[in-house]
Every structure is written in structure tokens, then in C-alpha cells.
Amino acid sequence: MTSSFSNLSLAEPLARAVAEMGYESMTPIQAQAIPVVLTGQDVMGAAQTGTGKTAAFSLPLLQRLLKHENSSTSPARHPVRALVLLPTRELADQVAQQIALYAKHTKLRSTVVFGGMDMKPQTLELKKGVEVLVATPGRLLDHIEAKNAVLNQVEYVVLDEADRMLDIGFLPDLQRILSYLPKQRTTLLFSATFSPEIKRLASSYLQNPVTIEVARPNETASTVEQHFYSANDEGKRHAIHQVLKSRGIKQAFIFVNSKLGCARLARSLEREGLKTAALHGDKSQDERLKALEAFKNGAVDLLVCTDVAARGLDIKDVPAVFNFDVPFNAEDYVHRIGRTGRAGASGLAVTLVSGSDARLVADIEKLLKKKIEIEALEYDEDQPNIRNQGRINDGRRHWRESEAQGGGAPDRERSPRGQRGGFRPAPVSRDPFFDRPYETPAEEVKPAWEATERAATGRISPNIKPKRKVAALFKAPDTVA
């Protein structure tokens, strides 16, 4: 169900901003959530990222805050009225940017605070006074402790990507933050899943919430063409080159399961001539924002990322997503491929399946309630720079067939090494990088595309008091990937 924004009687400055965004009709989450939030009721919403969830909560919230709009320069006239909490820095930045766009014709002020950045500029913004504060929990607590953020006039709280906040271990931080807020308020909780933990959080902090579910977490967008190709590790890079070339795809996200894999794959693809950046939790905030920006402006074509680092990133028109590793958690499959085919565009999701992935693929089948067909990729003869070509299973085969034969695992797993084209020992690498165990870099080596930029800022802000520095060692950071 979609309907027009004009049915909502949004205030003129908001309606104008929406029109400028080019939105023609509401997405299903917007059509359902906006009228409810406008009445001031609590909401528990299940919606995937990419469904237009940010506008679904921020437009009605801004509309209700318009009564506080004023052009006074006094900070006291601009207390925080709405607090939006998100699990990662990138998500916080992205949501804050969207809110600023929706609010641009109003006098309402908004800002964002997240870790990994100098606290000073954030403090200056907070001290000027803002009506809408977007934050990650850890950094918000830093500002609360430093008395930069006063939350006793908050009327609206949004807990966005609440399931991921709990996964990261933010529950104690959330509980502390919520304890600073007035009891009389509207609370909106959005989560991909309504797990028992989420339900418990909701029952503690929401009052008679209206439940809105638009896309169940086991549903993938129908606009995404999904393929599962059989490949071993060397063959996976070959497959990426092949798909990019045969489909004429310029940009893609490539998901891996570990920081180690992320760094190594990015390095390999870069060496093979593809403009690549890595996005994972060991990158400084500055580098991560630059990598994203480079991807957005086309200086980088491939963004190799881990799940948490990439969670919810909204980059328009990503034509393809590769799962270099099958995700350990089937729900992450849905999140990953949700990066493509957004807002009605068509997208391609390619998952590269190796011999030991049978159980993980079966988990995805169970979640999607669909049979997954593992296909063989046909290769061009002239693939450059990739050794061990032709090491990919040939022959289409259905996963369930192998299960029926009593295996459950792909044929290749039961084959002796070197047979059926799979599992030959990897060739000795000439780049010593690949022979070293993974280490968190003490000093980040700059990728070529940002070689001229000034040095990245340190990971822990010099403005964080020593007390917090020690505490930070014992608690989950804003983003861990």
C-alpha cells in the first residue's frame, strides 16, 4: 500500500522538503507509521532498512516539534526535544543527514554525536542548543557526563535498529540514557526482528505501543535478483571479476565475515586493478567516513565490509551486493542484500558458496522459506590477474539433491583434494602482507585514493577524560565489526 504525502496535511516547510527530495508517494512503513506518530502514541515497528523508515519517524516527529520552533539565539530556547539513538556511527551520520534535509525549511535545529571524533565541535553544537539530537549511545553518555547534553525536556525518543544495539551490548548504556529522560514522552522502537529481548525492552520502556510490521525480516525485496554460485576462495575473486564484467556493473558492496578477511580481500582486489576500500571496525572513524564518501563520489568502486560496519548504510543505486562469505547469521543475509534494490530500484545479489557453507545456506533457505539453487558460473577466457582459474564446480546442482543423497554438504566437500576442480592448496603469495597474521594497524596505511588527505585523527579523542578512556576499554565501543 502506498499513498500520497498530501493526505497527511504535513506543515508546508516539511511538505516542501519532501517534494524537494522527489518522493512521489509514501512507502508502506511511512503510510502506516506517520499517522500513528502524529497522534503521539508509542510505536514498535518492524521494518528493514531501505524501507523509508527514517522519514517514517522523523517527519511526524518534526511536525510535532514545530510548536517549539523559534529563532532565538539563546541556547535555553533550544533544548533537546527529540533523541534518536542508533548503533553505529555511519548510521547516526546518515540519519542525521536525512533529518537535516527534512527540517531544512524549519527553524528546528538538529545535530549528531558519535564516537571516534573529536568531542569539541560536537560540544559547541550541543551548547548552542538543538531540538533534535541523533547519537550513538557511548558518545552520548560522554556528553551527558560532561554536562554538554541535558535531556530533561526530551519528548520523543527513537531507538532505531534496536536489535543491533542489543547485539552490540548497548543495553546497559540504553538503560542509563533512558533513565535521564522524562517519564512522560513518546518512545518509538524500530527493529528488524521482534526477538524476546526486544519485546522485553519494549515492555520496559514503551507504553501501549502500536505495532507496525511492514516487511518481515525473512522477506527480501522482490526487486533483487539473487544468485548463489559455487566457488572456492580463489575462485570467489575470479567470480567477482566475472560478474562485474559480464553484467557491466561498476559499483558493489562485498560482504565478508571478519576484519581479517575484509582487509585481505580489499588488498587483493586492489592489486587486481579494482578500486577498492575496506570498511570495518578497526578503521578510524575518519577513514570510514572518507571510504564511504569515496564510494559515493565514485573514487572507489568496491566497498569490502563487515556486517556491523555496513549495517543500514543507505547508498543509493548500489547495483550489486556480493557475499564473499556466506553470513553466519541468516538474518544478516537479508540485511546485506537490502543494500541493493532499494526504494524500488533493481539490484543483483551474488552469494559465493564454498564447500563448508552447506549449513549456512540451509539456514538462509529456512529463513527465506525458498529453495536455493547453487549455480556454476560460466567464465570468460580472458580474466586477467587471477590465478587458479577454472577451480569452480561445473554443473548446476540443487542443494536439496545432495541432502537427499545423504550428504547435506556440497559434493566438493566430500571429494579428495584437487579433484572436481576444488580445494587445491593456495599458491604461495608474493606479497608478504598475505603471510602476516592480521594485526590491528597502529597507524593506518592510507589507500591510494586518499593519499593526499591529512593524517587521520586518533581513535580516542584527546577530549575524553582519562576516566572514560579506561572505561572505554571495558565497554562495547559505538561500533565493533
Residue whose entry in the numeric block shows the C-alpha cell 585481505: 264
Q: Which stretch binds ligand AMP (CB under 6 A): 19-27, 250-258, 259-267, 287-295?
A: 19-27
Q: Which is nearer to ligand AMP, 56 or 377 (CB)?
A: 56
* Grid cell at residue 23: 518522493
To the nearest whole angstrom, how small is the minimum distance from the Cβ of residue 415 to ligand AMP?
A: 44
Amino acid in position 87? P
> Using the rule CB under 6 A, is 23 a contact of ligand AMP?
yes
Four-CA torsion 332, 438, 350, 269, nearest 10 degrees: 150
Residues 295-314 binding ligand AMP (CB under 6 A) are: 314
From the CB of 94, what's the least distance to ligand AMP, in Å?
Answer: 7
Instruction: Fill in the per-residue mask, 314 to 353: x = in contact with ligand AMP (CB under 6 A), - = not in contact.
Output: x-x-------------------------xx----------
- Residue with smaller CB distance to ligand AMP, 53 or 78: 53
Taking the complex as a whole, the smallest distance from the CB of residue 284 to ligand AMP amounts, in Å, to 24
Closest to ligand AMP by CB, 54 or 306: 54
DSSP helix, strand, coil percent of the chain (3-state; round to 5)? 40, 15, 45
One residue of 52, 137, 319, 327 binding ligand AMP per CB under 6 A = 52
Phi/psi region, residue 343 (left: phi>0; alpha: psi -120 to 50; beta: rest), is left
* Options 10, 14, 27, 336; binder of ligand AMP; rule CB under 6 A: 27
Taking CB under 6 A as the binding criterion, the range among 22-30, 246-254, 368-376, 422-430 that sits at the site for ligand AMP is 22-30
Q: How far apart are CA 114 and CA 118, in angstroms?
A: 9
Q: How far is the CB of 296 from ligand AMP (least distance, A)?
A: 12
Of 81, 84, 111, 164, the closest CA to residue 332 belongs to: 164
Closest among 315, 318, 337 to 326, alpha carbons compared? 337
Residues 126-165 that bind ligand AMP (CB under 6 A): none
Q: Which amino acid is at 186?
A: T
Which is closer to ligand AMP, CB of 26 or CB of 231? 26
Cβ within 8 Å of residue 452, ≥6 positions away: none
Listed in sequence order, the residues at least 6 apart from 354 whose beta carbon sits closer than 8 Å to its beta carbon are 230, 231, 232, 233, 236, 326
Contact between 52 and 18 (Cβ < 8 Å):
no
Residue from 37, 53, 108, 126 binding ligand AMP (CB under 6 A): 53
Compute the distance between CA of residue 344 and CA of residue 213 in angstroms, rounded to an integer: 19
**Residues in binding contact with ligand AMP, number by CB under 6 A:** 15
Out of 55, 159, 192, 481, the only residue in the binding site for ligand AMP (CB under 6 A) is 55
Q: Which of 32, 54, 122, 186 binds ligand AMP (CB under 6 A)?
A: 54
Is 362 strand, coil or helix? helix
What phi, psi does 243 have (nearest 5°)? -65, -45
Question: Which residues of the shown chain bind ligand AMP in the complex (CB under 6 A)?
Answer: 23, 26-27, 30, 49-55, 314, 316, 342-343
